[in-house]
Amino acid sequence: MNNSTIKNAIVAITTGTPQEVKQAQKVVDRFWHTVYIPHREEGKNALSVFLDELETFDEISDADHKSYFINTLKWALFSLGEEHFDTWAAFFLRVMQHPSGKVREAAIRAIDWMIMDIHIFLDPPDGTTRDAITIKRNRIRFCHFVYAIELLCERYYEKRYSRCKYVSSLPSGIYKSLQRLLTEGLLRSDRYRKIYEDFLKENEYNASSSDRDRNYILPMIQLKHFNKNEHHEIPRTPGTRCVICARENISIRSMGQKGTVCEQCTIDEYQCVFGIPNREAAIARRRRIFDIGYLFTEMYMDAVLQKRGLSSVDDLGDMATFNSLFQMAQNEFNVCFSKKEKIELEESKNQSEIERRFQEVINHLVEKI
């Protein structure tokens, strides 16, 4: 019943008349106070419907209803902001680039509610006791979001903005909205600024050596069997539209919350989320995520073939056997290397060192076969 109450309210908010929208928003407001407050789990389950609606946000017909929807997120953010921070952050990074100032303005207010729900201070204003690890995690997430907004500012900056002394004097547009979000929202007080400045220092974001490392374009992994060195040449799919930029007939690069995403938008999001200043460096680092796995897979398959006395994959006999061996290699890669170890391998500049580490593991695995 509660879930349907929220779903029906969302339908009215995203499609109804201004009066219907106002009544539906009151329903959500009342639900938060009468259901969520006394029955947290039941309330969270119902309000999580808003998370599902993020996937169809672009299908809302006009900017007015998009802003109505974002304005209603207050209660979902108050109850689910910390638990699902990464999902909300990815959504708002996209919405802050919306062409409608009305939508961006609604996002600025909603982001304020999102930040209010994650506790990043050692003495939370609500008086609750928070685990130090939780506080640290929330600070890191908050700071990554701020850094991603700063990268968006760099993307939308134009030389003419240098003539404007104050944010208020900037011409209306995405850049001004981003600057307002930073100065009036995310970094609005000394406490927030201190947390972010400490984060930058600890991670050496401002150090020239760090900038060089983050801008370093990792060399391409050389593969023997899998032709992935040119995997950017994925064929275009007729009739396919990017859910972010709306380009048509794209080469599908990733699947977003709402559907297919093109190469440019996939890289844009990756660059923002991981705070990589140089676009070419971002492309190279993202490529490594896949190529490291392919390198292990072909080395593992070669070792198995050698043990079986076979000279190439063509000698396996049929595609089913090949697919089985390929899947086995991928499974071993995921089992043998932790997420942290995979990241270390992806960041390695020396392919021979990567191969050495892989060979040690593969030798041990093949002995058991």
Domains of the chain: 2-213 (1.25.10), 254-368 (no CATH)
pLDDT value of position 39: 87
pLDDT at 209 over 50: no
- From residue 141, alpha-carbon distances to 67, 224, 334 in Å are 25, 39, 26
Q: Is the pTM of this model over 0.75?
A: no
Regarding predicted confidence, which is higher, 137 or 169?
A: 169
Q: How far apart are the first and last CA of the chain?
A: 55
> What confidence tens digit (pLDDT) does each residue in 297-323 have?
999 988 988 888 887 777 777 778 888
Tally of CA atoms within 13 A in the half-sphere of 114 that contains its CB: 29
Cα(327)–Cα(343) distance, integer angstroms = 21
Cα(108)–Cα(125) distance, integer angstroms = 22
Identify whether the C-beta of residue 325 lies closer than 8 Å to the C-beta of residue 301.
yes
pLDDT value of position 160: 92
